[in-house]
Structures are given as structure tokens and as C-alpha cells.
Structure 1
Amino acid sequence: MRATLVARVASRIMAHVVDKPLICVFGATGTGKTKLSVQIAKHLGGEIISSDSIQVYKGLDIASNKATSEERQGIPHHFLDELQMDEQLTMPEFRDRALQLIKQMHQNNQVPVVVGGTHYYVESLMSVTASDLLESDSETATAETKRTDAQIEVAAIPDDDLYNKLKLVDPASAARLHPREHRKLRRSLEIAMSTGTTQSALIKQEQALGSPLRFRPTLCFWAVLERRLAKRVDEMVAQGLVHEIFGFLATLVHREVVDTRQRPTRVLGQLNFQHGILQAIGFKEFLPLFEHVINRGWLEEVFASKKPTIVNQQAWQELDELLIQKPGSTLLAKGIEQVKVSTARYAKRQQTWIRNRLLRERDQLFVYKMDSSQPSTWEDTVWQPALQALKAMQAQDPLPGLALQPWPTATPVAEAPIEHTCSLCERSFYSTRDWESHLASRAHKKRIAGAKRREENERRRQAKRSAEASREATGADSTEDTS
């Protein structure tokens, strides 16, 4: 019986496997993925599939580090500049569309090149997952209808209710997620509602399958660097990052001001920075600065108008003047520093994902590590080694790559988020890092000092009342004695 089941699963896996090559270029932010992918596509005569959840939006070119027309060098790039700011592209939608593009490229004898920093997008194209096997049990149209219905149902759930809802549906997934990771919570709920299987159960199935490759061979070029991230942020600021972020926010806020007739600052407080394009690094980090310039009257005429937002040259000049004056200059410096911190954290998370999910031993997977730390030595340290690997693949004799780790045999136990509540500030934190950061913050220390002052004042008032009561009692006793 078990042998029959194994054979059936193996047969379903093979239905998704194609003996055609796939090239993937991945790495943390700022590692030169775009440059390498264009060079590879030019050499192979292929096309590029961008797997970046932010670059798919129109605009925001600086913040997302989107390849310019010159950098693309005439190579077709898919999934760039497709969505408006209020639209979204889910991972299953991306996967299904991208796989169709890859199929067309293979039919045209082209080699597809997948590049981007959203690594779960990359993984969805590299590997056959348990969700693929699940969907193969039903008609595609039926599966798509269920997925759409689940998305609509989950979208109606308030953010504050997501965590408790998931604890009821999939406790194992809820245990490894932060209660404020709304996007991930929604994704776990969508999987459960659309497939009838929990995400935690799917993960166990994927590990049992070993996530076999969709395309054989698959060559992966892993671009790494140890420095340059902070410098890259400074370059983005010099290119106009702040103006780009503020232009987007001004357009978004203006639309809501016109529709709801609320104050701009109130609209800002209602924006969700965990969905869509607002997830991009830069929006949350520069939000205090944006609030400051709005409170100082920037773009007042725009917000009062019902016409489409147009940030003109005069408005940009007014903004620049506000940014060189205090406290604008201080908030600008803090925003830039926070962008650097967020970028470094994001790069670290990307590297962790790559090691844990992409760099796993599988048949016909070849991974080549490229040191892109020094742009001046790019030709010798990046392109020439990549070119050798590509030529070997074309000769059907791929070069050995990195020694990869096997898939774990058991699901690692995720550490459940621990809630830390500051009753003084009336805030909750679900990670030790955020909790310690809050305890060390100036705002928290001010609250402590204020509480101590209030306690001292209350102690003095009580002592004064006690003294007055004692004097009154003494006076009363004296009156009685006299009588």
C-alpha cells in the first residue's frame, strides 16, 4: 500500500518536472543581481523574469533599485512596471504567470533567467512544492475560484483579528508568526481556506518530498557582498529617494483626502505599511519626516484641490527648504539612518532564506557563489566565472558548484513569539529585540520619569493630607481638654 502511494506521489511530481534549463540569479539587496542577469541573458539570448514584489509596481524606481532602460540593454524584462499602487500580485498569481512565460521561452529555444530579491517568488519557480501536488488534484479553474474566494474572505478580516483566527485554523503556523505579520497571517489563512490543508501540513509534505526542481538543470548564481549597503543608501538619497517617496505618499494621501474629506495626518495614520507597495523600505522610515512637512503646510494647496496631485517644482523647492531647517534636517538624518538599518536587516533575512530554502541539495541543481564586493574587479570575480559555468551548461557538462546541505528530515520547532507588555506606555512587543529597544527608548524613559514624578507628588500630597488630618485631630483633642 505504502509503495503504491510513494509511486503515485512520484508520478505526480514528475508531471511538473521539465528537462529544460533554468537560470536563477539571487542574493541580498545591492549585490549586483541586475547587472549579472543582463549579461547572462545577452550571452544566452534569453529573457529576464523579475521576481521582485516591489519592482512590479509602476514608479518607485529609486527605492526598489529598478533596472533603468540603459541597464536592461534591450533585454525583455517581465514583471516590471505592471501594477498601480493600489493593486497586488500574490505569489500563486506570479508563479502561474511566470511558469507560462518560461514554457513559451523554452518552446522558442530560449533560456529563461529569473532574477530578484523576493526569494519565495524565486523558490516558487525553482521547486515543485506540496501546493502544486494539491492543486493537481482538482481542475485548474476550480482551484483558481477557491483561491479567489479565499482571498476575498481573508481580506475582509480586520488586522487585529488575523492572529486569533489563524490560531484556530492552523495553530502550528500561528506559533511561528508575529501577531503583527499581517501579510504572512493572511497568506496562511488563504492557503487553509482555499485548499482545505494547513500551511504547516504543506511544509511537512514539502520536506518529505525534498522540493524537487521543476527544471533540469537549474543553475543558480548567488551574488554576495560584505560591504556597500550603507553607501548604496547614500547614493539612492543623492538620486532623489526622498522626493520619490514623498511624491508617492502625496499622491496616495491626496486621493484619500478627496474621497474621505479627512485631514492628511489622519489619512497617514490609517495607511497599512505591510501590504503592497507600501512594504518597500523608505515609506515607514521617512514617515515622521513626511508628517512633519505636512504639519508645516507643505502641499496644502494640493490637498485642498480635487484635481490629480501634481507636485510641481515650487513644491519641491519648499520641501528642500524644510529639509535643511531643524527639526526637518534632524528627521531627515534619522530617516536615512533608519533606511540603512532596515536595508541591512532585510539583507540578513534574505541571506537566511537563501541558505535555508534555496541552497539545499537536489538533483541537477548547481549553485555558484559570486563575490560582487568590488565593482572594479567584476569582470574577473563575477562575469568570467559565470561565463565558464554557462558554457559548461551549454556543453551539457555543468561545472560542480557549492556543496549543498540536504533537506532537514524534521520540521524545526519554531520559537513562539513572547508577548512583552509595557503597561506604562500601553504597548505590546513580540520580540526580545523590539522589547529591549523600547526599554532603551527616550519615550519610555520619559514615561518612567513622569510616572516617578507623579508618584512623588502623590506621596507628598498624601503626607500633607496626613499632616493636616493630624493637626486637626490634635486641635480637636485640645478643645475637648479645655472644655
Structure 2
Amino acid sequence: MIPLLVIVGATASGKTAFAVKAAQILNGEVVSADSMQIYKYLDIGTAKVTPEEMQGIPHHLIDVLEPDDDCNVSRFVEMAEPVIECIYSRGKLPIICGGTGLYIDSLLKGAAFEDNSCDEQYRVELQNLAAEKGNQFLHQLLREVDGEAADSIHPNNVKRVIRALEFYHTTGKSITVQKENTFNSKYNYFMIGMQRGREQLYKSIDSRVDKMVKDGLFDEALSIIKKGIDENCNSMQAIGYREIVWYFKGRCTKEESIRLIKRNSRRYAKRQLTWFGANDDICWIDPTDDEQINKILDIAKKELTKER
């Protein structure tokens, strides 16, 4: 089995710096599991790792797609698997680093997302319904056919509500059955989570957003818009870009857009913590504690070199 170190955590929790340190100590290369850093040009707003921060450690699956391209979980897995195999074949340790829990779980545990469960025309109909009658109406439609999925998806997460309805429409099954349709992992993986106090994390998020604005986030977003990228593209739904689009469209003030970026980032971090918190495989550490870092990396090295 291919050994795989997996580093997870909420946004602004210190994953990037920890991944670089782990790669230096364990002779590894980093594979990003971030659904937005995979896009070109979205640099400041996604807190994309810089060449200086990489410190010579190769990073993969960053800047590989155009902003108007689409990336979903199955495509991510298709791209990540050969990269991981290539890193391992060169005698290096593949290190997954990211906060997109769905991507990571699907890669590790083989959750089967059926590509034949798509109906684009039906999807457009649902999108129109949401626009005309609201998110709550669409969520109620889901509850009528798949109560279990409705309980697990927030009404405002329209994309996931539509995906669940679409899956039921084409397969007659609840999308939750996908969680059960898994196979044994092909990886001998060890997971480490970045644990920071909630208040400390939120302060870090607010400070990061302020720095992003100072570093030119609004100009970056405007340059992407000027490339003709539609505001409904997947990439432009990234926190930090959609709020600025609202500002440029006159839907809110600049100050309000910054406030919304901070609020939405905190809410996203909370969802990430909930997702990863349910995973008993994760060993949580304080990324600012050098003693904990050295100890967990020593444990990881031993676990990843075991025969499986």
C-alpha cells in the first residue's frame, strides 16, 4: 500500500506551514486538496501557498485549472491518484494537505460518486426554481423525496441540495447511499489535524482577510472578472471573490463585502471543524507547539513505514 500523510484543518489553522515542515522532515511532496487553490489566478483570496512559503518543497494540484473550468470530487480524485503514485515511485512521501473534507474522504475511502447520476437539463430546472421560489422551497422538495439528505444539507447550500435532488431523480436512490458505497483504501494513511482554539482561529481568519485586502484582493478579483469569467462559475463561488463581485455589481459597499468575507470565512471554518471532528482517524495537534509537532511526525513516520 502507498503510504500517505494527510494534513487537515480549518482555513487559517496553519496547514500549509505544517505540511512544508513535514515534507522537509519526512522527505515528502505536497498534494493540495483545496477545491479553490486548484484554479489559476485565484491567489490572494485562496491564501495560495507562495514560492517562498514552499521553501523548495514541490506542491501539486495548484494552478492547474482555468477559472471557468469545473472541478468536482470525482475529477479531483482522478487527478490526485496518479500524482500520488508518481511521488511515491520517486521514493518520496506523498503528503495531502487541504481543508476540502469531501475531496479528502473520497480519495482515502473511495466514496463512489456516480458520474451517470447527472441530468444537466433537470439541474437547470432546479436552479431556476431556486432563483424564482427561493432556497427553502427547493430544500422542501428534497425533504419530500429524501428526508435523510435534507437533514444533513443546509437549505442555503443550494449546490448540494440540487445535487441530492439530481441524484434521486436519475437513480431513484438517496444520495446518502454513496457514503455506504466504499471500498478498502489503497493507501496506508495517517491523518493529522490542526487544532486551534475557536476564538484564536477566528482572530486569525479576520487578520488574514485584512492582509488579503491590503495585498490587493480587490484588484485580483477585478482582473479575473475582466477576463470574462462568469460570476456563476465554480471558482467565483470561492469566499473572498463572490463577495467582491457583489461589491462591483453594486449589491453592497466595499466595507460590507469585507465584513461578509470575514463572516463567511468563519462560518466555513466552523463547517470544516464539524466535518473533520467526526473523523476518528485524525490525530489533532497544536501547530504552534514544536514539541507536539516533532512527536506526531515521529509517530507518523513509524506508522507509515509499517507493512500493511
Q: Taking structure 1 as the reference length, what is the TM-score of the superposition? A: 0.54
Kindly report which structure 2 residues correspond to 1:3-22, keeping only aligned pairs within 5 A, or say none.
Answer: 19-22=1-4
- In the TM superposition, what is the alpha-carbon distance from 1:391 to its structure 2 partner? 3.7
Structure of greater relative contact order (alpha carbons < 8 Å, 6+ residues apart): 2
Contact 1:26/1:116 (<8 A) preserved? yes
Corresponding position: 1:239 with 2:209:
no
Residue 370 of structure 1 aligns with an amino acid whose one-letter code is: I
Kindly report which structure 2 residues correspond to 1:170-249, keeping only aligned pairs within 5 A, or say none.
Answer: 170-192=146-168, 197-203=173-179, 205=180, 213-216=185-188, 218-226=189-197, 227=200, 228-249=204-225
- In the TM superposition, what is the alpha-carbon distance from 1:168 to its structure 2 partner? 6.5
The 3 A distance-change label for structure 1 pair 124 and 250 is: same
The 3 A distance-change label for structure 1 pair 286 and 351 is: same
The 3 A distance-change label for structure 1 pair 391 and 23 is: closer
In structure 2, distance between residues paired with 1:156 and 1:335: 28
Contact 2:34/2:99 (<8 A) preserved? yes
Q: Secondary structure at the match of 1:286?
A: helix
In structure 2, distance between residues paired with 1:168 and 1:394: 46
What's the counterpart of residue 294 of structure 2? 384
What's the counterpart of residue 237 of structure 2? 279
Kindly report which structure 2 residues correspond to 1:267-416, keeping only aligned pairs within 5 A, or say none.
Answer: 271-272=231-232, 275-292=233-250, 331-356=253-278, 359-360=279-280, 365=281, 367-372=282-287, 374=288, 380-381=290-291, 383-393=293-303, 396=306
Please report the RMSD computed on the Cα atoms of aligned residues, expressed in angstroms: 3.1
Quick check: 168-177 or 54-63, which moved more?
Answer: 168-177
In structure 2, distance between residues paired with 1:196 and 1:75: 46
Kindly report which structure 2 residues correspond to 1:257-276, keeping only aligned pairs within 5 A, or say none.
Answer: 271-272=231-232, 275-276=233-234
Q: Secondary structure at the match of 2:63?
A: coil
Corresponding position: 1:28 with 2:10:
yes
The correspondence for 1:119, drawn from 97, 101, 106, is 101
What's the counterpart of residue 433 of structure 1? none
- In the TM superposition, what is the alpha-carbon distance from 1:36 to its structure 2 partner? 1.3
Residue 234 of structure 2 aligns with an amino acid whose one-letter code is: G
The 3 A distance-change label for structure 1 pair 82 and 165 is: farther
In structure 2, distance between residues paired with 1:114 and 1:158: 35
Contact 1:26/1:223 (<8 A) preserved? yes
In structure 1, distance between residues paired with 2:263 and 2:21: 31
Percent of aligned pairs with the same residue? 29
Corresponding position: 1:157 with 2:125:
yes
Contact 2:33/2:96 (<8 A) preserved? yes
What's the counterpart of residue 442 of structure 1? none
Q: Deviations over 1:114-158 (max 9, x none)?
A: 1111111111122133x27xxxxxxxxxx75x35xx254454434
- In the TM superposition, what is the alpha-carbon distance from 1:221 to its structure 2 partner? 1.4
In structure 2, distance between residues paired with 1:119 and 1:176: 15
Runs of 4+ with deviation above 6 angstroms: none
- Listed as ranges, the gaps of 5+ residues in structure 1 are 1-18, 133-142, 257-270, 295-327, 398-483
Quick check: 92-101 or 112-121, which moved more?
Answer: 92-101
- In the TM superposition, what is the alpha-carbon distance from 1:224 to its structure 2 partner? 2.1
Q: Secondary structure at the match of 2:242?
A: coil
- Listed as ranges, the gaps of 5+ residues in structure 2 are 131-137
The correspondence for 1:73, drawn from 46, 50, 55, is 55
Q: Secondary structure at the match of 1:199?
A: coil
In structure 2, distance between residues paired with 1:74 and 1:195: 47
What's the counterpart of residue 459 of structure 1? none
- In the TM superposition, what is the alpha-carbon distance from 1:194 to its structure 2 partner? 6.3
Residue 70 of structure 2 aligns with an amino acid whose one-letter code is: Q
Contact 1:63/1:282 (<8 A) preserved? yes
- In the TM superposition, what is the alpha-carbon distance from 1:351 to its structure 2 partner? 0.3
The correspondence for 2:68, drawn from 83, 86, 93, is 86
Contact 2:30/2:96 (<8 A) preserved? yes
- In the TM superposition, what is the alpha-carbon distance from 1:178 to its structure 2 partner? 4.1
Q: Deviations over 1:268-300 (max 9, x none)?
A: xxx43xx511221123333453234x9xxxxxx
- In the TM superposition, what is the alpha-carbon distance from 1:89 to its structure 2 partner? 0.8
Q: Deviations over 1:170-208 (max 9, x none)?
A: 4542454344422112332454466664313334x36xx
- In the TM superposition, what is the alpha-carbon distance from 1:81 to its structure 2 partner? 0.7
Q: Deviations over 1:431-469 (max 9, x none)?
A: xxxxxxxxxxxxxxxxxxxxxxxxxxxxxxxxxxxxxxx
The 3 A distance-change label for structure 1 pair 53 and 201 is: same
Contact 1:125/1:214 (<8 A) preserved? no
Contact 2:45/2:217 (<8 A) preserved? yes
The structure with the larger Rg is: 1
In structure 1, distance between residues paired with 2:34 and 2:108: 15
The 3 A distance-change label for structure 1 pair 108 and 200 is: same
Quick check: 116-125 or 68-77, which moved more?
Answer: 68-77
Q: Secondary structure at the match of 1:222?
A: strand
- In the TM superposition, what is the alpha-carbon distance from 1:22 to its structure 2 partner? 1.2
Contact 1:154/1:186 (<8 A) preserved? no
Kindly report which structure 2 residues correspond to 1:118-157, keeping only aligned pairs within 5 A, or say none.
Answer: 118-129=100-111, 131=112, 146=116, 150=118, 152-157=120-125
